Structures are given as C-alpha cells and as structure tokens.
Structure 1
C-alpha cells in the first residue's frame, strides 16, 4: 500500500472511501465529522442512525453511504479523546487498523484519512502522525492508497516527513 499526503479538504477527495473522525454517538459533530456530514448531506446521518443506533466504541470503525461526497463510502472511526483522559495509544492505532479492515470488507482500494484525534480531541500531533504512519505501514490490507489529508501546510510538512522516514 502506498501512503500519500495532500493538503486540502477531505470532503473533496476522489477516493473510494473517506475516513471520518467521529464521536462515539455517530450523530455528527464538529471538525472533520461536521464537515463530512455537511458536505455529504442528511443521508449520512440517517445511515448512521440506522446502522449504529447505539453508536460505536472508541477505537472501532464502521461504514455508511457517502451521500453527496465524491466517495462511495464513509468509514467512521471513533478516536480517543486525549483531552478527556483517553490516552491509550492502542485505541488510536485501532482506528487506522479497523478502517483498513472495513475498507477490505467493502473492496475499497483508495482511502482518504484525517489525522484522527489530533484536533479537538487533543492528541499530540507528532505522536498522532507517528501512530497513523506506523499503523498504516504495519497493517496487512488490499488497499492500494492511504491518502493522509492535511488541513494546513505545517501538518502536511510533518506528515510528509514521517512518510519519507
């Protein structure tokens, strides 16, 4: 699998599946989650409610339709909230591993990932990047491309450096 990085808007990525950093209730929210729900339209929330009436546990992943997004699916992952005391790194790496497993079940070959838990959930950015790159490299998968989508140039530079190591 090739790991790439782009700077831009995750909701505009032409991939099979967009990975959403969601909260455990899967009812929309802020940050990446809110942007994906707004861009994809209400059908994503409707599918979340139907498929995950109780939400999902931290570290887990599940898919819904993508609505108006350019992708076919949204793979929702529930990252740990570092600020709220969820500091088990295994929960963070599980998000990436489980997203790849769900992608394999769907037959998705290209994925766009945000930097899970590094926004409002407060995971230290450098470690979030290392966790993402290490886990994507170590997880057996049929996915051809895992595209990390950086929201700004400094994050892009950090992810690009981690990939090149």
Structure 2
C-alpha cells in the first residue's frame, strides 16, 4: 500500500473514493462535509436521504461508515464516516476514531476501490486535538495495509501545512 500526504482540497482529488467527515444525519454540514456536499451537487444529498435511518435522525452512527456515489466530484465515490466529538478523551473517542478509519477502509475494500483519501476526521468542528488524532489515523491505515491488499493507495488530504506536517511526522517516525 502506498500512503501519501497531500496539502490539498480533498474535493479536487480524482481517486476511487474520498472520505467525508460527516455528521450522523449524512445531510451535510460545515467544514469538509459541507465542501463535499457543495462540490458533489444535489444528487449526493438525495442519495444520502435515501440511506435508511438506524434511529431517528441517524443514518450513520459515530464510528461507522456508509458509501455513496461521488456525482460531480472527480472521485467516483464518497465514503461518509462520523468521527467522535472530542469531550476530553475519556469518552471512548480514540476507539471511535480508530473505528472510522477501519470502517472506511473496509468499505473501500468491499467495493473494490484501489484509492482513497482521508481528511483529518474529527479535527475540525468536532474539536479532536490533531496531535492525538493523527497518530490514530496513521496507526489504523498502517495496520490495515499490513493485513490487506486493498486499497492500494491511501492519501491523507490536509487542508493546511500544519496538519500535513503532523501527518508526515507520524508517517515517517
């Protein structure tokens, strides 16, 4: 597996899938979620609305993932995952965040996708400290690559230089 770090807008990547740091409703929001929904167009929202709710207002519980088409995005698919809201670190946040990466990679493999890009899940409005989140992301992707052949290419798509530097430091440690 090839793992890379790009400082880029995830919505511009022409890969098999990009990962959306979504909320449990899957109906769009701020940050990466809003950017992906805007770039993909209204068909993405329509497909997300068609995903069955597992309980009122929840189409994807925290730590799980769902897949849709990419529509107007260069990526063929969007894998939506819901990271934990940071509440100080004593509410199973690290386990839930790790689950986001594994669930997303599992969907990519299940659907025969060769390439996938991850944003910094939960590090935006959900408040997860990047210094704690990045090592989890790198650990989970690295562990997956040691056990599975697919996807063959993983990108950590970082919006800023500081986040990209954290990922590079964790990857090349």
Structure 1, unaligned stretches of length 5 or more? none
1:146 equivalenced with 2:158 (yes/no): no
- Measure how far apart 1:135 and its partner are: 0.4
Normalised by the length of structure 1, the TM-score is 0.95
Structure 2, unaligned stretches of length 5 or more? none
Contact 1:81 1:87 in 2 (8 A): no
- Measure how far apart 1:88 and its partner are: 2.6
Normalised by the length of structure 2, the TM-score is 0.91
Alignment of 1:106-125 (within 5 A): 106-125=111-130
Q: Structure 1 residues 62 and 84 mapped into 2: Cα distance closer, same or farther (>3 Å)?
A: farther
**Which of 136, 145, 166 matches 1:158?**
166
Contact 2:65 2:82 in 1 (8 A): yes
Say what the alpha-carbon RMSD is for the aligned residues: 1.4
Q: Structure 1 residues 103 and 56 mapped into 2: Cα distance closer, same or farther (>3 Å)?
A: same
Where in structure 1 do 4 or more consecutive aligned residues deviate above 6 Å?
A: none
* Matches of 2:44 and 2:167, distance apart in 1: 29
Q: Secondary structure at the match of 1:96?
A: helix
Number of residues paired by the alignment? 165
Alignment of 1:24-103 (within 5 A): 24-53=24-53, 54-83=58-87, 86-103=91-108
* Matches of 1:123 and 1:88, distance apart in 2: 9
- Measure how far apart 1:52 and its partner are: 3.5
